[in-house]
Chains A and B, each alone.
Chain A
Amino acid sequence: MPSSYRLVNYLLRPAKVAERKMLCDLFRRLEPFGRIHTYRYIGFGSIYFADFLLFHQALGISDMISIEKDEQNGPRFSFNKPFRCVELKLGHSNSVLPQLDWEKKSLVWFDCDGKLDGAVLADVAMFCSKAVSGSMLLVSVNVVPEKKPNAAPQDQDAFRLQTFSEAVGKEKVPLDVTGANLRPGEFAKVCRRVIHNEILKELCDRNGPLEEERRFCYQQLIHFHYADEAQMLTLGGLFYEKRDRPLLDRCAFSELPFVRDGEAIAFINAPKLTQKEVRHLNSQLPRLPADKVTLPGVPDSDVHDYVSLYRYYPSFTEVLLG
């Protein structure tokens, strides 16, 4: 199966574009922990490097590492690096991450095409055991439930449970989870729980011998659901030492409308609107309450979705690049 970068131009996925812009706003808020341009960004840039483009241009981050598992096509990835400051590391993230120096504050986004599995959890665990206070971790995974063709519902449940157990490791599946929890609409919740548990477990081990003030805490900030094609989950947040709690308070993350610190979900639904409609809506924004915003002939739900992310709504246009 070809890599997803050969199927979809990452730059053109509207929810993904909005997500990146939101994360940019989130990262800006980290200033109390350190000047944002001094952070290091680690991601999976693929050949489009959309996240690297944005975070360098908007935040000035210049210590950037893109991990690329498709070693065979190294030259192509290398050619497409948008800036000189992007360092390409060829190899699976499971191999590359343990070889990095983790003494620097880092923004790490494991933006995976695939589903949650042991390899993703290994990266999460690695980050939790090494990251310094003020670092941020984000994980994106596909949360479309597995499906066995033509199976009866109970077979489907059993199949899903078995597939998931094999993917993440039996011991990582919470005791109360059954196949029914892995159906559409529910599966993402279990994925969130498994990632969350992994974070807490690793922090617990790391914290054991540390004095109270030096213990690491995890503050979830991001819980996105979106679907440009496949249903995706992005989960993540800030890692900080307890003594840095006042810095966290100064970040005032809760002022950002898309921040979620628990099970509540921030949906990124980018409605399909014309440029004229967008301009019309923008002329009424910002406005509270949002239901005062109107657009003739467009469903209210689309208007609502637009209002909730208008600052991050992508604007695509065709230009001739010479």
Chain B
Amino acid sequence: MARRLRNGNGFDGLWVRIEVKTTHFRIADNCGGIPVEIARDYAFRFGRPKGAPSIPASIGQFGVGMKRTFFKLGQRFRVESATSDSRFAVEIDVDDWKARQSTEGAEDWHFEFKTLEERISVPPDQQGTIITIDGLHPGVSDSFGQDPFVTRVSQEIAVAHALSMAQGLSITLNEIPLRYDPLRLLSSDLLRPAHLDILYDKLGPKPIKVRLFAGVSDRSKEEGGWYIFCNGRMVLRADQSNLTVWSEGERVPKYHPDFARFRGLAYFDSDDASLLPWTTTKTGVDSDSPVYRAVRQQMIEMTRPVLEFLRKMEDERKKHEDGDIPDNPLARAVAAAGPVGIETIAPRAIFAAPQPPPPPPGPRMQGIQYKKPADEVERAKKLLGVTSFKEVGEKTFDYYMTYEGGSDAE
């Protein structure tokens, strides 16, 4: 609703207030209300009639799942909504309603308006929607009373709607404002995230806009991966599987802690929500969607240079720790880069990052690893007069080669 109201111009001043209590569930917003014709012809009918008007860039194909959710939660629900020129209320007791269905015949699946006013003038501060469900089913009521459940719900909402919140929408749960953690990528003159825009405008009456970003962020094994959004809602979080790009032959390896800095963000937006590659429940990605399969190819290719960089950085870290190289310019470049929001990232198809300096001239080096009893190694260390095990290895090797390597040893 907020999207329809603002039409892509941010959500400042709009709010959603959610109450999850043992006695009831309530969600109220000031996001413009549900127009009577949509309520009448669509939202309170069962099933989705063809030809229902599409709400620009809505998250739900509005109404799908809404009534089912009501039924799952409790015994009674009340929906009150006011737009600038109409106001209605629907109030249902599920048992009564079911009983009426059986007496009046199964054909009539309509809900009736309890009150309905049209062609009126509603002041802005009264426009919005309030949905209240009470007579909660026992299992539901129990869950709603438990703190861990409420915390999890708040986290899920914050994650799924971070983008809308970043655009100004305020969401509270039991009067506590939800905090969102916007996804940011590290950027600097040396380190630039990839940003690719794709427009598919021949798939349906409305185009699909795809925005892809790939780069690096804070090191977090759990948060590394691809994030997928449909009309602003996160439908896949930190994916580390082949559903996005991972374990794709030799193009992209299996996800690995070395890639814990990787972040990929894919935003699919369309005024026709049915074109988006999400599952019918809107909670996952439809991997068979042709749009998704084509975009996934591009996600794969955007991912590869970032992983290449992270591999080199890991290589640099090891060599630097071992004292094999004096400097760690890649790690310094990452440390010097700052987090930026995606709206500031200019389009560039390929992730840009500094290259490691060329290997020092000289023969190709080969590491050797072996184990020997600790007291013998300590003895060798003393005999050699050195302080590290690395030197023990090097000196004993040199000693052998001096006497046995000869000048013509090949």
Residue of A nearest to B362 (CB): A72
Question: Is B56 at the interface (CB under 8 A from chain A)?
Answer: no
Query: Contacting chain B: which of A116-124, A144-152, A254-262, A285-293?
Result: A116-124
Please judge, given known A-B contacts A71-B359, A74-B358, A101-B350, whether A206 and B249 are in contact too, CB under 8 Å. Answer: no
Question: Is B250 at the interface (CB under 8 A from chain A)?
Answer: yes
Please judge, given known A-B contacts A98-B304, A129-B300, whether A209 and B290 are in contact too, CB under 8 Å. Answer: yes
**Contact for B251 among A90, A117, A126, CB less than 8 A:** A126
Q: How far is the CA of A280 from the CA of B152 in the complex (A)?
A: 87
Q: How far is the CA of A299 from the CA of B296 in the complex (A)?
A: 56
Given contacts A119-B250, A129-B297, A202-B297, 5 further A-B contacts (CB under 8 A): A72-B359, A98-B305, A205-B297, A206-B297, A209-B294
Q: Assess whether A206 is in contact with B250, with CB atoms less than 8 Å apart.
A: no
Complex interface residues of chain B between 279 and 296 (CB less than 8 A to chain A): 290-291, 293-294, 296
B249 partner residues in chain A, CB cutoff 8 A? 118, 121-122, 125, 169, 172
Residue of B nearest to A75 (CB): B361
Complex interface residues of chain B between 306 and 331 (CB less than 8 A to chain A): 308
Closest beta carbon of chain A to B288's beta carbon, Å? 10
Q: How far is the CA of A125 from the CA of B110 in the complex (A)?
A: 52
Question: Is A154 at the interface (CB under 8 A from chain B)?
Answer: no
Residue of B nearest to A92 (CB): B308
Output the residue of B202, B251, B305, B358 with the most chain A CB within 10 A: B251
Which 3 interchain pairs have the tightest Cβ spacing?
A: A208-B290, A118-B250, A211-B202
Hey, what's the 0/1 contact readout for A172-191 against B, CB within 8 Å counting as 1? 10000000000000000000
Q: Assess whether B202 is in contact with A210, with CB atoms less than 8 Å apart.
A: yes
Q: How far is the CA of A277 from the CA of B250 in the complex (A)?
A: 49
Please judge, given known A-B contacts A98-B305, A208-B291, A209-B290, whether A129 and B200 are in contact too, CB under 8 Å. Answer: no
Question: Is A99 at the interface (CB under 8 A from chain B)?
Answer: yes
B349 partner residues in chain A, CB cutoff 8 A? 101-102
A71 partner residues in chain B, CB cutoff 8 A? 358-359
**Contact for A72 among B208, B300, B364, CB less than 8 A:** B364
Q: Assess whether B364 is in contact with A98, with CB atoms less than 8 Å apart.
A: no
A75 partner residues in chain B, CB cutoff 8 A? 361
Q: Assess whether B350 is in contact with A210, with CB atoms less than 8 Å apart.
A: no
Q: How far is the CA of A119 from the CA of B293 in the complex (A)?
A: 21
Q: Assess whether A209 is in contact with B304, with CB atoms less than 8 Å apart.
A: no
Q: Assess whether A121 is in contact with B250, with CB atoms less than 8 Å apart.
A: yes
Q: How far is the CA of A117 from the CA of B349 in the complex (A)?
A: 27
Q: Assess whether A209 is in contact with B350, with CB atoms less than 8 Å apart.
A: no
Q: How far is the CA of A74 from the CA of B359 in the complex (A)?
A: 9
Q: How far is the CA of A95 from the CA of B306 in the complex (A)?
A: 10
Q: How far is the CA of A174 from the CA of B364 in the complex (A)?
A: 40
Hey, what's the 0/1 contact readout for A107-131 against B, CB within 8 Å counting as 1? 0000000000111011001100110
**Contact for A130 among B200, B208, B301, B364, CB less than 8 A:** B301
Q: Assess whether A99 is in contact with B359, with CB atoms less than 8 Å apart.
A: no
Closest beta carbon of chain B to A132's beta carbon, Å? 13
Question: Is A163 at the interface (CB under 8 A from chain B)?
Answer: no
Q: Assess whether B294 is in contact with A206, with CB atoms less than 8 Å apart.
A: yes
B301 partner residues in chain A, CB cutoff 8 A? 98, 126, 129-130
Question: Is B126 at the interface (CB under 8 A from chain A)?
Answer: no
Q: How far is the CA of A74 from the CA of B356 in the complex (A)?
A: 14
CB-defined A-B contacts under 8 Å, sample of 22: A71-B358, A75-B361, A94-B304, A95-B304, A119-B250, A121-B250, A122-B250, A125-B249, A169-B250, A205-B293, A205-B294, A206-B294, A206-B297, A207-B294, A208-B294, A209-B202, A209-B203, A209-B290, A209-B291, A209-B294, A210-B294, A214-B202
B308 partner residues in chain A, CB cutoff 8 A? 95, 98-99
B294 partner residues in chain A, CB cutoff 8 A? 205-210
Q: How far is the CA of A209 from the CA of B251 in the complex (A)?
A: 22
B290 partner residues in chain A, CB cutoff 8 A? 208-209
A121 partner residues in chain B, CB cutoff 8 A? 249-250
Question: Is B298 at the interface (CB under 8 A from chain A)?
Answer: yes
Closest beta carbon of chain B to A103's beta carbon, Å? 8
**Contact for A209 among B200, B250, B300, B364, CB less than 8 A:** B200
Complex interface residues of chain A between 130 and 158 (CB less than 8 A to chain B): 130
A214 partner residues in chain B, CB cutoff 8 A? 202
Q: How far is the CA of A119 from the CA of B350 in the complex (A)?
A: 20
Q: How far is the CA of A98 from the CA of B300 in the complex (A)?
A: 9
Q: Assess whether A98 is in contact with B350, with CB atoms less than 8 Å apart.
A: yes
Q: How far is the CA of A78 from the CA of B22 in the complex (A)?
A: 73
B296 partner residues in chain A, CB cutoff 8 A? 205
Complex interface residues of chain A between 71 and 107 (CB less than 8 A to chain B): 71-72, 74-75, 90, 94-95, 98-102
Complex interface residues of chain B between 356 and 399 (CB less than 8 A to chain A): 358-359, 361, 364
Q: How far is the CA of A74 from the CA of B362 in the complex (A)?
A: 12
Closest beta carbon of chain B to A239's beta carbon, Å? 14
Q: How far is the CA of A72 from the CA of B297 in the complex (A)?
A: 32
Q: How far is the CA of A148 from the CA of B200 in the complex (A)?
A: 51
Output the residue of B249, B349, B364 with the most chain A CB within 10 A: B249
A125 partner residues in chain B, CB cutoff 8 A? 249, 251
A210 partner residues in chain B, CB cutoff 8 A? 200, 202, 294
Q: How far is the CA of A207 from the CA of B298 in the complex (A)?
A: 12
A98 partner residues in chain B, CB cutoff 8 A? 301, 304-305, 308, 350
Closest beta carbon of chain B to A213's beta carbon, Å? 9
Q: How far is the CA of A172 from the CA of B249 in the complex (A)?
A: 9
Closest beta carbon of chain A to B320's beta carbon, Å? 18
Q: How far is the CA of A142 from the CA of B202 in the complex (A)?
A: 43
A118 partner residues in chain B, CB cutoff 8 A? 249-250
Residue of B nearest to A71 (CB): B359
Closest beta carbon of chain A to B324's beta carbon, Å? 15
Hey, what's the 0/1 contact readout for A191-220 against B, CB within 8 Å counting as 1? 000000000001001111111001000000
Q: How far is the CA of A122 from the CA of B251 in the complex (A)?
A: 5
Q: How far is the CA of A172 from the CA of B290 in the complex (A)?
A: 21
Q: How far is the CA of A59 from the CA of B368 in the complex (A)?
A: 49
Q: How far is the CA of A95 from the CA of B311 in the complex (A)?
A: 11
Q: How far is the CA of A184 from the CA of B141 in the complex (A)?
A: 71
Complex interface residues of chain A between 274 and 300 (CB less than 8 A to chain B): none
Output the residue of B250, B293, B296, B349 with the most chain A CB within 10 A: B250
Q: How far is the CA of A288 from the CA of B144 in the complex (A)?
A: 89
Hey, what's the 0/1 contact readout for B187-202 against A, CB within 8 Å counting as 1? 0000000000000101
Q: How far is the CA of A72 from the CA of B293 in the complex (A)?
A: 38
Q: How far is the CA of A49 from the CA of B301 in the complex (A)?
A: 28
